[in-house]
Chain A
Amino acid sequence: MPSIYPLARTCNGYAQYIPRSIVRPRQLSYPSRPMSTPEQARIDPVDEEPEPVTKEELMPLYRQMLAIRRLEEASAKAYSQGKIGGFLHLVIGQEAVCVGAIATIGQDDYVVATYREHGHAYAKGIPARPILAELFGKKTGLVKGLGGSMHLFDKETNFLGGHGIVGGHVPIGAGAAFKAKYRGEKRVTLCFFGEGASTIGGFSEGVALTALWKLPMVLICENNLYSMGTPLYRSLAVEDVSMRALSHGMARDRFDGDDVIKVKRRIAVAVERARETNEPTLVEVRTYRFRGHSMSDPGLYRTKDEVAEWKRRDPIRHSRQRLVEDCGVGEEELKELENEVKAEIADAVRFAEDSPPADEYFPYVIKE
Chain B
Amino acid sequence: MPIISMREALNQAMNEEMERDPDVFLMGEEVGYYNGAYKVSQGLLQTFSERRVIDAPIAEMGFAGIGVGAAMVGLRPIIEFMTFNFSLVAIDQIVNNAAKIYQMSAGQFCVPIVFRGPGGPAVQVAAQHSQSLESFYANVPGLKVVMPATAYDSKGLLKTAIRDDNPVVFIESETLYGVTSEVPEEEYLIPMGKGDIKREGQHVTLVAWSKMVHTCLDAAGELATMDIEAEVVDPRSLRPLDNEIITDSVRKTGRCVIVEVGWPHCGFGAEIAFQVQRDCLDHLDAPVERVTSDDVPMPYALNLENEVQPQVKDVVAAVKRVLYLE
Cβ contact of B73, chosen from A3, A179, A364, A366, cutoff 8 A: A179
Given contacts A160-B73, A208-B57, A367-B165, contact A153 B104 (CB under 8 A): yes
Residues B59 and A208 in contact, CB atoms below 8 Å apart: yes
User: Is A112's beta carbon under 8 Å from chain B?
Assistant: yes
Given contacts A155-B109, A179-B73, contact A209 B57 (CB under 8 A): yes
Residues B92 and A202 in contact, CB atoms below 8 Å apart: yes
Residues A205 and B65 in contact, CB atoms below 8 Å apart: yes
Interface size grouping (class) on chain A: 35 or more
Which residues of the partner chain B approach A208 to less than 8 Å between Cβ atoms?
A: 57, 59, 62
Which residues of the partner chain A approach B103 to less than 8 Å between Cβ atoms?
A: 146, 361, 364-365
Which residues of the partner chain B approach A146 to less than 8 Å between Cβ atoms?
A: 103-104, 106
Residues A363 and B107 in contact, CB atoms below 8 Å apart: yes
Question: How far apart are A230's CB and chain B's nearest CB, in angstroms?
Answer: 21
Output the nearest chain A residue to B55 by Cβ-Cβ distance.
A7
Number of B residues contacting the other chain (C-beta, 8 Å)?
47
User: Is B177's beta carbon under 8 Å from chain A?
Assistant: no
User: Is A86's beta carbon under 8 Å from chain B?
Assistant: no
Which residues of the partner chain A approach B62 to less than 8 Å between Cβ atoms?
A: 171, 174, 202, 204-206, 208-209
User: Is B61's beta carbon under 8 Å from chain A?
Assistant: yes
User: Is B303's beta carbon under 8 Å from chain A?
Assistant: no
Given contacts A205-B59, A209-B56, contact A172 B105 (CB under 8 A): no
Provide the bound-state CA to CA distance between A212 and B32, in Å: 16
User: Is A137's beta carbon under 8 Å from chain B?
Assistant: no
Question: How far apart are B163's CB and chain A's nearest CB, in angstroms?
Answer: 12
Cβ contact of B108, chosen from A153, A170, A173, A176, cutoff 8 A: A153
Residues A153 and B109 in contact, CB atoms below 8 Å apart: yes
Which residues of the partner chain B approach A179 to less than 8 Å between Cβ atoms?
A: 69-70, 73-75
Given contacts A171-B61, A175-B65, contact A144 B73 (CB under 8 A): no
User: Is A182's beta carbon under 8 Å from chain B?
Assistant: yes
Cβ contact of B104, chosen from A4, A110, A151, A155, cutoff 8 A: A151
Residues A174 and B96 in contact, CB atoms below 8 Å apart: no
User: Is B87's beta carbon under 8 Å from chain A?
Assistant: no
Interface flags, A147-162, vs B, CB<8A=1, else 0? 1000101110010111
User: Is B68's beta carbon under 8 Å from chain A?
Assistant: yes
Question: How far apart are A151's CB and chain B's nearest CB, in angstroms?
Answer: 4
Which residues of the partner chain A approach B51 to less than 8 Å between Cβ atoms?
A: 3-5, 182
Residues A176 and B70 in contact, CB atoms below 8 Å apart: yes
Residues B50 and A5 in contact, CB atoms below 8 Å apart: yes
* CB neighbors of A among B46-104 (8 A): 49-51, 54-57, 59-75, 89, 92-93, 96-97, 101-104
Cβ contact of B166, chosen from A165, A171, A201, A366, cutoff 8 A: A366
Cβ contact of B107, chosen from A6, A154, A367, cutoff 8 A: A367
Output the nearest chain A residue to B33 by Cβ-Cβ distance.
A7
Interface flags, A1-18, vs B, CB<8A=1, else 0? 101111100000000000
Which residues of the partner chain B approach A7 to less than 8 Å between Cβ atoms?
A: 32-33, 50, 55
Residues A171 and B106 in contact, CB atoms below 8 Å apart: no
Output the nearest chain A residue to B240 by Cβ-Cβ distance.
A366
Which residues of the partner chain B approach A6 to less than 8 Å between Cβ atoms?
A: 50
Output the nearest chain B residue to A154 by Cβ-Cβ distance.
B108
Question: How far apart are A224's CB and chain B's nearest CB, in angstroms?
Answer: 23
Residues A171 and B142 in contact, CB atoms below 8 Å apart: no
User: Is B10's beta carbon under 8 Å from chain A?
Assistant: no
Interface flags, B158-177, vs A, CB<8A=1, else 0? 00000001100000000000
Question: How far apart are A105's CB and chain B's nearest CB, in angstroms?
Answer: 15
Residues A175 and B69 in contact, CB atoms below 8 Å apart: yes
Residues B104 and A172 in contact, CB atoms below 8 Å apart: no
Provide the bound-state CA to CA distance between A154 and B104, in Å: 11
Cβ contact of B93, chosen from A143, A154, A168, A204, cutoff 8 A: A168
Residues B65 and A172 in contact, CB atoms below 8 Å apart: yes
User: Is A226's beta carbon under 8 Å from chain B?
Assistant: no
Residues B104 and A143 in contact, CB atoms below 8 Å apart: yes
User: Is B319's beta carbon under 8 Å from chain A?
Assistant: no
Cβ contact of A1, chosen from B49, B96, B165, cutoff 8 A: B49
Question: How far apart are B80's CB and chain A's nearest CB, in angstroms?
Answer: 15
Residues B141 and A178 in contact, CB atoms below 8 Å apart: no
Question: How far apart are B70's CB and chain A's nearest CB, in angstroms?
Answer: 4
Provide the bound-state CA to CA distance between A124 and B45, in Å: 39
Output the nearest chain A residue to B71 by Cβ-Cβ distance.
A175
Output the nearest chain A residue to B164 by Cβ-Cβ distance.
A367
Output the nearest chain A residue to B25 by Cβ-Cβ distance.
A182
Residues A161 and B65 in contact, CB atoms below 8 Å apart: no
Residues B104 and A209 in contact, CB atoms below 8 Å apart: no
Question: How far apart are B306's CB and chain A's nearest CB, in angstroms?
Answer: 36
* CB neighbors of B among A109-167 (8 A): 110, 112, 142-144, 146-147, 151, 153-155, 158, 160-165
Q: Which of the listed residues A158, A175, A179 has the most CB atoms from chain B within 10 Å of its own CB?
A: A175
Provide the bound-state CA to CA distance between A161 and B102, in Å: 11
* CB neighbors of A among B266-321 (8 A): none
Residues B59 and A367 in contact, CB atoms below 8 Å apart: no
Given contacts A151-B104, A366-B166, contact A176 B73 (CB under 8 A): yes
Residues A178 and B70 in contact, CB atoms below 8 Å apart: yes
Residues A160 and B72 in contact, CB atoms below 8 Å apart: yes
Residues A175 and B106 in contact, CB atoms below 8 Å apart: no
User: Is B110's beta carbon under 8 Å from chain A?
Assistant: yes
Question: How far apart are B63's CB and chain A's nearest CB, in angstroms?
Answer: 6
User: Is B211's beta carbon under 8 Å from chain A?
Assistant: no
Residues B141 and A153 in contact, CB atoms below 8 Å apart: no
Residues A153 and B101 in contact, CB atoms below 8 Å apart: yes
Inter-chain pairs besides A171-B69, A208-B62, 7 sampled, C-beta below 8 Å: A169-B65, A172-B69, A173-B69, A176-B69, A202-B62, A205-B59, A208-B59
Can you name 29 A-B residue pairings with CB atoms under 8 Å? Answer: A7-B33, A112-B69, A146-B104, A147-B104, A147-B105, A153-B101, A153-B105, A153-B106, A161-B104, A165-B97, A171-B66, A171-B69, A172-B65, A172-B66, A174-B65, A175-B67, A175-B68, A175-B71, A175-B73, A176-B72, A182-B70, A202-B92, A204-B62, A209-B62, A364-B102, A364-B105, A365-B142, A366-B141, A367-B110
